[in-house]
Amino acid sequence: MDKLPTYSPLVDRPRPRRSRLLELTLCGIAAVTLLSSLSQLAFLGKQSVQLPLHAEQILQKCQMLHAKPGPPSNFHQRTQSDRFVEGTRATLIRNASIWTGDDEISQGDILLDKGIIKFLGHASPDMLDKFKDLIALDVGGSWVTPGIVDLHSHLGVDSAPALKGASDTNSLKGTVQPWLRSLDGLNTHDDAYRLSISGGVTTANVLPGSANAIGGQAFVIKLRPTAERSPSSMLLEPPYTLNGTYVDPTLPPRWRQMKHACGENPSRVYGNTRMDTFWAFRQAYDTARQLKDQQDAYCTRALAGEWENLGEFPDNLQWEALVDVLRGRVKVHTHCYEAVDLDDFVRLTNEFQFPVAAFHHAHETYLVPGTLKQAYGHTPAAALFATNARYKREAYRGSEFAPRILAENGIDVVMKSDHPVLNSRFLLYEAQQAHMYGLQANLALAAVTSTPARIMGQDHRIGFVREDLVVWDSHPLALGATPQQVWIDGIPQLSEPAVASKPVSFQQVPRTPNFDLEAAAAIKYEGLPPLAPKKAKDFVVFANIGSMFMPDGMGGVMSVGDVGEGSVVVLKKGVVQCWGAVAACAKELASEDPEWIDLEGGSIAPGLISYGSPLGLEEIQGEKSTHDGTVFDPLTDSLPGILARGEPIKAADGLQFSGRDTLLAYRAGVTAGITAPSSNGLIAGLSTAFSTGAAHRLEDGAVIQDVAALHVQIGHSSNGPSVSTQIAALRYLLLGNQSGNRFAEVAKGAIPLVVQAQNADIIASLIELKKEVNASTGADIQLTISGATEAHLLAKELGEAGVGVIVTPSRPFPDDWESKRILPGPPLTKESAITTLLAHGVTVGVGVVEQWSARSTRFDIAWAALESDGKISKGQALALASINLEKLLGVKPSGGLGDMVVTRGGTVLDLEAKVVGIISPRRGLVDLI
C-alpha cells in the first residue's frame, strides 16, 4: 500500500499539460509510423490492400485491450479534484488525532483545498497566507479518519422509504444479465443518503441485488448532493465510455464493478438448483470467452497489418462487460455464503481465468480460508457482517469471530452494510463489533476505509487521508462514535451538527475481551459450537466487583452504593446471601467451600429482556419448517370454525427453546424473551415471557409468565383492509361487551394492549380510541405502542394519555412511508426519539426486529445513553430493556427472583466487558458463560 502522497502546500502546481501533450504527440507519431509501415507491407504484398477508414482507432483499441486499470501515472500530481465545486473554501483542521488509513497515526493539522488533502502535518502561519478565505477549525485532539467506504450497498436502488415506484435492486428477466447497470436505476431522492453521511459514510459501491447469478454492473458513488442533482454527477471515476464512445488512448482504463451471486437467492428466485446456477455461470463465461478470443484473433491480424477481409471489430454490447472481466478489468463482487458455493466459484475463476475482488456475506469463508487462496489471480477479500447471521440456512454457521479468523489467515476483511439490510449510517458499528470479537484495531478501521477502497480499485482517492474526512466525537472504535463533521470533496456535509459529550475514556481504543476459546470452538465445531452454559456450584462468590445495579422497587434501576472494587457478592442456588467487603460477608463465606470467580472490576446488573422479534418462535427466518408459523387474520383469512370463538393464539404454545439466537442472546445478558405470535394481520395474539437459558418448557422457570399482553398491529397495506377498517374492528372488539374474552380484559385494564404501529396519525387515532374506551368502561386501559418510529411527534400527547412506547428498533430508519418522519438523533438532531419521549414522562422500552440482533440489546441501550448527552443515566439505560419492558408488556415484577447478568472487565453497557455469568434465583442456579 502506498503512503499518503506528498503535496507542496506552498506553490500551486500547474496542470501537467506539457507531459500530456508530449504523450499525445508520441502516440500520434507511433500511430502514423505504424500505419505507414502497414501501408508499405500491403504495397509489397501480392496485391494492394485498402486500409480501413478508422484503422488508427482500431489499432489504438487493440493496443489497449490488455491495458490494466488504474490512475494515470501523474495522478498524484493533481492540484484539484475533478469533483471540486467552484467556490468551496479551503479548510484547515487543527490539532487532530489522525488515523491515516493504515496503521499510521499522526497528530497535527490537515489542509483541504480544491477537493483534496494538500497537507498533513503541522501547518505554519506563512504556509496559510495565500488562503484569503481559509476556514480554520480546531478539533482539540478529536479523531479524524478517512470517510467511511461501503463496499456493498443498495443506496439509491433500494430506496427509503420503500415504494414500488423506486424499487430497482433486481431485474427478474434472467439469471445472467451482465449488461444491466445499477446507475440506470439510481434514485437521487433516497432519504438514506443524508442519514448515511451523518454516520460518516462518504462513498458507496452501489450493487445490483442478488436475485441473479450475474445481476449487472455496479457503480461507485459519493453520497453528497450535487448542484446537477443527477445520478451521473454522484459517480466516482466511472468508465470513460459511460457518456460517450471516445477514449483518450493515453489513459489507462478505469476499474469497473460487477455483481455476481450464488447459493440460495438465485435458486429461490428462478426455481433452480445450485447445479443450474453454475451451469448458467459457465454458459455466460463461455460466451464471453468466445467473444474475447475473436477479438484477440482480430487484433493479432490488425497489428500484423493483415487487413484483407478483416471486417469489423467483433463486439457485443450485452457481453462486453463480461469480456472485460476475463481481461481482468472488472472488480467482481460475489454474493456467496457456503463452502460448496465458494468452492464452485473458485473453480469457475480458474476455469475461465478471472480474479474475484471479494466474496460478500461470505459466512463460511472463515471455515475454508484455503479454498479462497486457490482462486485465480489473487485471494479475494471477505466482505462480512459482524453478527448478522442465521437468517437463512446458508448463513446458519456465520460467526462473530470470522473477521479475526480470516485476518489471522492473511485474508483481507471488509465490513459492509448491504444497505438497507443494515442501515449504512451505522456501518462503523460493524467494525466496532468486529474489533470487540478480536479483529485488530487497525484492521477493524481499515475494514471500513482503506481495505474496501483498495478492493474496489479506488484507494488512490478514498479510504486514506486523500479526499474525504470525518471528525469523530470519540475514538472511532468506541461504541456510539458519531461524526462532528464530514467532508466530501472538501465540502462540509453537516450544518449545525449536534454533538453529545462523551466520557474521556472513549477517546482511547477500547480494550477487548478475550474470546480465544470461543474463536477456536467456532472452527472446531464448523460454525456450530455448543452454546449451552455451564452450571456453577450451588455456592458461588463473585469477587472484585466494580459496580452493581438493582431494581429500586419504585420502577427504576439504581446503582448499589456500597459495592466497589474489591467487593464480593455471595450466592447460594442463585439467591444473593451477602454483598460488600469480604469482611462483611465473612459469616456466609465460612459456611462451606464456594466457587470463586474474579470479575476484574466487573459488574452485576438486571438481566435484559428482548422484545419485538420472533425470538423463541423460529430458528431460521428463511426456513418455514423451523417456524411456529403465522396466525390467521380474521379480517382477511377464512378463519377455521374451531378458532372462530376461541381466545387469541398463545405464543407460549409454540415456544422453541435452545435455539442458537436464543442462546447467543442469553450469553450476551438477555435472560428473558417476551414474544408474541407472528402475524401478518390485525390480531397477533397473546405474548409470553420465557427464559432464554432454559433447555425446554418443562424446566423450572422456563416459562416466566404464560400470558403477558394482547397484541394487535395496525398499518397501511397494499393487500389488506384500510387503516380505518382495522381501527373500527379494534373498537368493536374492545367495546363489544363480550364478557370473559381477552379483549374485555383489556377494556377493563386487566392486561395491556400492545399495538404495533409506526405512523403518527395511526398513533393519534389510537390515543383517541383509548379515551373512548376509558369513557365507556370507566377503566383505564393499558396501551403500549410498539414500533413507534413517529411517536416522538406525539410525545406530549402520549405522556398525557399514559401510553407507553417500545421503540423498535432503537435507532430509527425510514423503512417505509409510515416510518418516514424519523427523529434521527445526533449529529442531525440534538434529541433522539427516546430522549424526547422520556422528557414527556412516557415509559419507554426498546426492542429489536430480527432475532439475531437480540444479543446486541446491551449495546442498543448503551448507545441510547451515550447519544443522550447525559439525559439517560446507566440505570435508566438498563431500565429500557428490563423493568420498563416488564411494565409495558404486562410481566409481573420479578422482585427478588429477577435474573441478573454478570460481566467481567466493565458493565454490561461496555464494549470492553464480557458476560461471564447469569444469576437466576427463579431457576435456583448460576450459569457460567
Alpha helices in 123-204 (DSSP H): 192-198
Give the pLDDT of residue 104.
77
Per-residue pLDDT tens digits for 138-175: 999 999 999 999 999 999 999 999 999 999 999 999 99
pLDDT level of residue 18 (50, 70, 90 thresholds): very low
Given a cut of 70, whether residue 15 has pLDDT beyond it is no
Q: Is 226 exposed, middle or buried (0-12, 13-18, 19+ CB in 10 A)?
A: middle
Give the pLDDT of residue 102.
85
Per-residue pLDDT tens digits for 248-281: 878 899 999 999 999 999 999 999 999 999 999 9
Give the pLDDT of residue 247.
72
Beta-bridge partners for 844 = 805
pLDDT level of residue 739 (50, 70, 90 thresholds): low
In sequence order, what are the residues at sequence separation of 6 or more whose Cβ sits closer than 8 angstroms to the Cβ of residue 195?
160, 423, 425, 813, 814, 824, 828
All three cell numbers of 71, joined, read 490512475
All three cell numbers of 609, joined, read 429482556
- Mean local confidence (pLDDT), 895-914: 94
Give the pLDDT of residue 738.
66
Give the pLDDT of residue 644.
67
Give the pLDDT of residue 780.
95
Give the pLDDT of residue 755.
98
Nearest-angstrom CA–CA distance, 339 and 393? 12
Given a cut of 80, whether residue 211 has pLDDT beyond it is yes
Given a cut of 80, whether residue 59 has pLDDT beyond it is yes
First to last CA, the chain: 41
Residue spans of beta strands (DSSP E) within 393-468: 413-415
Given a cut of 50, whether residue 13 has pLDDT beyond it is no
- The amino acid present at 816, given as its one-letter code, is D
Per-residue pLDDT tens digits for 792-841: 999 999 999 999 999 999 999 999 999 999 999 999 999 999 999 999 99
Kindly report the backbone phi and psi dihedral angles of residue 512, in degrees, each rounded to the nearest multiple of 5, phi listed first.
Answer: -120, 140
Angle between helices 274-303 and 339-352 (to 10 degrees): 20
pLDDT level of residue 736 (50, 70, 90 thresholds): confident
Give the pLDDT of residue 552.
86
24 or 726, higher pLDDT: 726
Which helix (H) or strand (E) covers residue 753, if one does? strand 753-757
Per-residue pLDDT tens digits for 649-708: 999 999 999 999 999 999 999 999 999 999 999 999 999 999 999 999 999 999 999 999
Given a cut of 80, whether residue 848 has pLDDT beyond it is yes
Given a cut of 70, whether residue 22 has pLDDT beyond it is no
Q: What is the reported pTM?
A: 0.93
Which helix (H) or strand (E) covers residue 764, if one does? helix 760-777
Neighbouring CB atoms inside 10 A of 532's CB total: 12
Per-residue pLDDT tens digits for 292-328: 999 999 999 999 999 999 999 999 999 999 999 999 9
Given a cut of 60, whether residue 23 has pLDDT beyond it is no
Average pLDDT over the chain, rounded to whole? 92
Cβ 900 vs Cβ 918: under 8 Å: yes
Helix, strand or coil, per DSSP, at residue 919: strand
In sequence order, what are the residues at sequence separation of 6 or more whose Cβ sits closer than 8 angstroms to the Cβ of residue 679?
630, 631, 633, 685, 711, 713
Q: Which of 398, 388, 851 lies closest to 619, judged by CA?
A: 851
Percent of the chain topping pLDDT 70: 94
Q: Which of 774, 752, 741, 772 lies closest to 708, judged by CA?
A: 752
- Overall residue count recorded for the chain in this entry: 929
Given a cut of 70, whether residue 27 has pLDDT beyond it is no
Strands 469-472 vs 148-153: parallel, antiparallel or unpaired: unpaired
Nearest-angstrom CA–CA distance, 382 and 193? 25
DSSP 785: E
pLDDT level of residue 465 (50, 70, 90 thresholds): very high
Per-residue pLDDT tens digits for 354-393: 999 999 999 999 999 999 999 999 999 999 999 999 999 9
Helix, strand or coil, per DSSP, at residue 469: strand
- Mean local confidence (pLDDT), 473-481: 97
Given a cut of 60, whether residue 337 has pLDDT beyond it is yes
- Residue tagged 413507534 (cell numbers): 788
- Mean local confidence (pLDDT), 477-486: 98
Cβ 505 vs Cβ 217: under 8 Å: no
Strands 783-787 vs 753-757: parallel, antiparallel or unpaired: parallel
pLDDT level of residue 7 (50, 70, 90 thresholds): very low
Alpha helices in 81-210 (DSSP H): 192-198
Q: What does the buried/exposed string (b/e) look like for 265-294 if buried means 16 or more CB atoms within 10 Å of the residue's CB?
A: bbbebbebebeebbebbeebbebbbebbee
pLDDT level of residue 26 (50, 70, 90 thresholds): very low
- Residue tagged 395496525 (cell numbers): 714
Beta-bridge partners for 549 = 559
Neighbouring CB atoms inside 10 A of 41's CB total: 14
All three cell numbers of 372, joined, read 479462497
Per-residue pLDDT tens digits for 389-426: 999 999 999 999 999 999 999 999 999 999 999 999 99
